[in-house]
Structure 1
Amino acid sequence: MVWPELLERKGVTEASMVLLTAKIMQRASLFISFGGLVSTFVTTFIPLWKTMNSDLNEMENWYEGLWHMCIFTEEVGLHCKAFESLLALPPVTLASRILMCLSIATGILGVASTFFGLEGVEIGQGREKVKRALLILGGVLIWISGVTTLAPVSLIAYVMVVEFWDESLPDVMPRWEYGEAMFSAWFSGLLLVVGGSFIFVAVCMGDHEAKQRSKVFSQAQGQKPRTQNYLKTEVL
């Protein structure tokens, strides 16, 4: 009996018939993580983290990000200016800068590590353990990238809420409110956390499939091959 027929009889090909396999899960998690990384990169540099509109002058809208301060007027349009001094930044903004840059760096390393650990990407013969280690490393780095994205945006949101309801400030003083970039940061951080978690799921699925294959191979090797006996007759 040939090996493909034996494997099919033992049920190894059932994994290929299942819609959700380890290979598909690996690529889905990489796609989700890459989308979260791109969203994190864009969110880091757009000046839409905070928005403010003064009641005294409704024609002006102020926007603030981690790197720029912008003002929008109908006469001039949008005018942005970068923060001049790094040491003059508020501690929350400075910490958010560091965490977002760390998120981008770990995200790039995690996506690259996951890509080279994908099933089907050739990095050499007989290196399944190396590919599995790359997937685990990529999942950890992507998960860290998601956490370091959620941390600064949550910190800024908390500080804004505290300052918004600060009774010591006069009522006529304008307050900062949430900008579109904060919601984008929450969404991208969630994508990274989900993508990193799915990579761990893909690793577990790959381990299960490898155990099933090894079990079938061991059972197949234990069986004796069929032999056919031919009876020769002679006509006298």
Structure 2
Amino acid sequence: MAASMIQLIGFMLSALGQFLISAATAMDMWSLQDRSFAVVTNFYTYSGLWNSCVGTSYGTTQCRPYFTILGLPALLQAVRALMIVGIVLGAIGGLIAIFSLKCLKMGNMEDNIKATMTLTAGIMFLLGGVCGIAGVSAFANLIVQSFRFTTYADGGFSMMGGGGIGGLSGSLTPRYTFGPALFVGWIGGAVLVIGGVMMCLACRGMSSDAKQRYDGMAYKASSHHTIYRTDPKPRPAFNDSYRAHSADGRMSNQKFDYV
């Protein structure tokens, strides 16, 4: 009962994590413009893995997809690949986990087969969660490096102070910070990893129950010593004088009863 409960909870957590990393991959707010030092706050830009968008404070947005693949940064393509691999692994693991649930009867499937399928699904959930966390972390590292080394350009504020007239004559280079999609991806990857670990733990409980088989019969010698004694009653001697004789004088095996 404990193994089936852990398996069911792990499957539900894995399904939730799979949904979260899929939603994070489809979201556009991976990087969001930092408006803390922006002069105009009515317009802001944000971008994701597939689109770059412009939003307004009135709630209207306009997005433009990336029409090229070769012109994109290598890190962005690597993040795309990691997220897609994580989604595919999670989907395959979820399909296997459905058929390995102990609460579902699939013909004459034995418990040891379900335990193996549960372990396979748990490993796939683990790998999918690790891929999701790695992809989100790589993109977050890119945002941190860009934010750290971005300064105000051409006559504006600089890192050493000074500037143009009033310090506002130059144009400001926009800086980007973490978007909501990063947090959704981190939470989804962590939940997917926890679900995979619970599936692996459930496999141990299921395999221990499945290995209770009777491969042979054990023989236990009796603790009492058996003593064989001779029969004290005398047995009558065999007398073959009553056998019938054949015509040539040899004895035959026929017996006659004499009254």
Q: Residues 150 and 175 of structure 2 are in contact (CA less than 8 Å); yes or no, is this contact kept in structure 1?
A: no
The one-letter code sitting in structure 2 at the alignment partner of 1:156 is: F
Encode CA deviations 1:187-215: one digit per residue, 9 max, x unaligned: 0000111000000110112234446x669
TM-score normalized by the length of structure 2: 0.70
- Which residue number in structure 2 is paired with residue 229 of structure 1? none
The normalised TM-score by structure 1 is 0.77
> AA paired with 1:125?
N
Considering only CA atoms, is the larger Rg found in Structure 1 or Structure 2?
A: 2
Secondary structure at the residue paired with 1:157? helix
Cα separation, 2, equivalents of 1:123 and 1:207? 17
Q: 1:107 to 1:128 in 2, by over 3 A?
A: same
Partner SS, residue 80 of structure 1: strand
SS in 1 for 2:149: coil
Structure 1 regions of 5+ residues with no counterpart?
1-15, 223-236
- What is the match of residue 114 of structure 2? 131
Percentage identity across paired residues of the two chains: 25
Q: Would the aligned equivalents of 1:53 and 1:62 in 2 still touch at CA under 8 Å?
A: no
Q: Is the 8 A contact 1:70 1:78 kept in 2?
A: yes
Aligned length: 198
Match of 1:56 in 2: 39
Cα deviations by residue, 1:33-86 (Å, 9 ceiling, x for unpaired): 000001111110110111004513211111111011111124681111111111
Instruction: From the superposition, tell whether residues 131 and 210 of structure 1 become closer, same or farther in structure 2 (CA, over 3 Å).
Output: closer
1:89-100 correspondence runs (5 A): 89-100=72-83
What corresponds to 2:200 in structure 1? 200
**Cα 1:109/1:126, change in 2 over 3 Å:** closer
C-alpha displacement at 1:129, in angstroms? 2.6
Select which of 20, 32, 41 maps to 2:13. 32
Q: CA RMSD in A?
A: 2.3
2:101 aligned residue (118, 122, 135): 118
- Secondary structure in structure 1 of the residue aligned to 2:22: helix
Structure 2, gaps ≥5 residues long: 159-171, 221-259
Q: What are the residue-to-residue correspondences of 1:63-212 with 2, within 5 Å? A: 63-74=46-57, 77-166=60-149, 170=153, 172-210=172-210
- Structure with more of its chain in helix, by fraction: 1
* Conservation of the 8 A alpha-carbon contact between 1:36 and 1:192: yes
1:114-167 per-residue CA deviation (whole Å, 9 max, x = no partner) reads 111111322231532321221111011111100110011101111111121116
Distance change in 2, residues 1:23/1:166 (3 Å)? same
| Paired residue type of 1:32 | L
Secondary structure at the counterpart of residue 111 of structure 1: helix
**Do the aligned residues in 2 keep the contact of 1:53 with 1:60 (CA within 8 Å)?**
no
Q: Which moved more, 1:151-160 or 1:169-178?
A: 169-178
